Amino acid sequence: MRGKIVFFEVDQYEQELFREKLSGEGELVFYPHRLTHDNIDEAKPADYIVSFIYSDLSDRMLDQLPNLKGIATMSVGTDHIGLEETTRRSIPVCNVPAYGPNTVAEHAAALLLALSRRIVESVDRTREGVYEYTGLTGWDLKGKTIGIVGTGKIGAHVARIANGFEMKIIAYDPHPNTELTEKYGVEFMEMPQLLHRSDVVTLHVPLTPETKHMIGQEQFSQMKPGMVLINTARGALVDPNALLDALEKGVISQAGIDVLEDEGILKEEKEFFSSYFKLQDYQTALANHALMRHPKVIVTPHNAFNSKEALQNITQTTVDNIKGMLSGDRVNQVNHT
Ligand code: NAI
């Protein structure tokens, strides 16, 4: 046996795949639920933990896992993990760097089209048996300006798709990808300028302490009135209360959202009663509920990654990550140990 590998947030299908591909690699223990402070005892015997993003692997959890030797997250994002603490303790963290950046970009495009052509309201109407288009006028993407914030792997695919729609593409990234300028005429500029000029802003940046609430009251005040916001990156990039205020004032006319701040609580509302909960968390949860019910907003439940092709890539890369950690020949490590 090469150690105990404890998996959280894995369904039956994934469990079978991991059992098959990791046979003989260690003792495998599977839990379909996420790891929280309430069930930390399940993680304590683990040499390696595998999870998706709803598991809490922050510093306060890592403190209680003194024997941990490695973490494999089945995601691009690592904001659910106390990365500095893992580095300090020499615990390698491996992620799935690119399981299909087109997958998330296609979902961003789906949200945008659903808003521009009022697909959700249209389908709601016909499902009620009403076959009538009055009041469902949409708007064209062609000729509109899209502002891509973050032109990494996913943002680059968004540029490709927006180019297909003949949109004017502008972008902000501290490390501009000049290839996108050559291919699709993407014009890079600073954030305030981008906010001022965009008809649509779409976010594709990682969540870090620096990017938390990077779209807040100040940024909304710099936007072109009536702008459309798409967020398939991380909920906490946007201050939800400021977004509600911007919708109320018409600064934002529509929003398409796949990610909400502290979305874990929307999955398990018993978390509300946890002693870890602060007033701020309740306010965020209330704002999330208001956004989910808002007539100008469509929210999907962090579903952008969820295509058949992407899921196959996620499980295969996670298997490679685990084998790499066990053999010492690590791949896709995101921290420095
Ligand atoms: P990436 O690492 O390829 O690109 C991120 C880009 O953001 C980089 O070019 C970086 O320079 C830029 N950036 C960093 N800070 C910035 C800032 N303050 N302003 C503007 N740009 C900034 O990452 P990738 O693969 O494109 O993914 C982006 C994010 O999408 C991930 O970090 C993750 O949080 C999210 N994501 C969401 C999924 C979903 O299912 N909704 C699935 C996969 C990723």
**Beta pairing partners, 96:** none
- Mutate which of 104, 231, 303 for ligand 1 pocket (most atoms within 8 A of beta carbon): 104
Residue nearest atom 18 of ligand 1, based on CA coordinates: 211
Residue 207 Cα to ligand 1 middle (Å): 8
pLDDT, one tens digit per residue, over 252-284 is 999 999 999 988 777 766 666 666 667 777 889
Cβ pair 230, 201 in contact under 8 A: yes
8-state DSSP, 57: B
Q: Mark out the alpha helices in 93-202 (DSSP H runs).
A: 101-116, 119-127, 153-164, 178-184, 191-197
Per annotation, catalytic residue among 204, 234, 261, 271: 234
Does this chain's domain 4-98+310-327 share its CATH topology with 101-304? yes
For this structure, is 336 an active site residue?
Answer: no
pLDDT, one tens digit per residue, over 168-219 is 999 999 999 999 999 999 999 999 999 999 999 999 999 999 999 999 999 9
Q: What is the pLDDT of residue 269?
A: 65
Spatial CB neighbours of 86, under 8 Å, sequence gap ≥ 6: 62, 71, 92, 93, 335, 337
Which one has a higher pLDDT value, 266 or 154?
Answer: 154
Ligand 1 atom closest to the CA of 172, numbered from 1: 20
8-state DSSP, 235: G
Residue 4 Cα to ligand 1 middle (Å): 32
Cβ pair 252, 298 in contact under 8 A: no
Residue 154 Cα to ligand 1 middle (Å): 7
Which one has a higher pLDDT value, 278 or 39?
Answer: 39
Q: What is the pLDDT of residue 275?
A: 62
Q: What is the pLDDT of residue 268?
A: 67
Q: What is the pLDDT of residue 267?
A: 72
Is 1's pLDDT higher than 60?
Answer: no
pLDDT, one tens digit per residue, over 76-104 is 999 999 999 999 999 999 999 988 899 99
Q: What dihedral do alpha carbons 143, 144, 148, 151 form, nearest 10°?
A: -10
Q: What is the pLDDT of residue 2?
A: 77
Q: Is 206 in the pocket of ligand 1 (CB under 6 A)?
A: yes
Residue nearest atom 31 of ligand 1, based on CA coordinates: 206
What mean pLDDT is reported for the chain?
A: 95
In the chain, where the domains are located: 4-98+310-327, 101-304
Element spanning 298, H or E: strand 297-299
Q: How far apart are CA 269 and CA 125, in angstroms?
A: 31
Q: What is the pLDDT of residue 273?
A: 63
What CATH number was assigned to the domain covering residues 4-98+310-327? 3.40.50.720
Q: Which residue has the tokens 């990365």?
A: 83
Q: What is the pLDDT of residue 171?
A: 98
Its CATH class, for the domain covering 101-304, is alpha beta
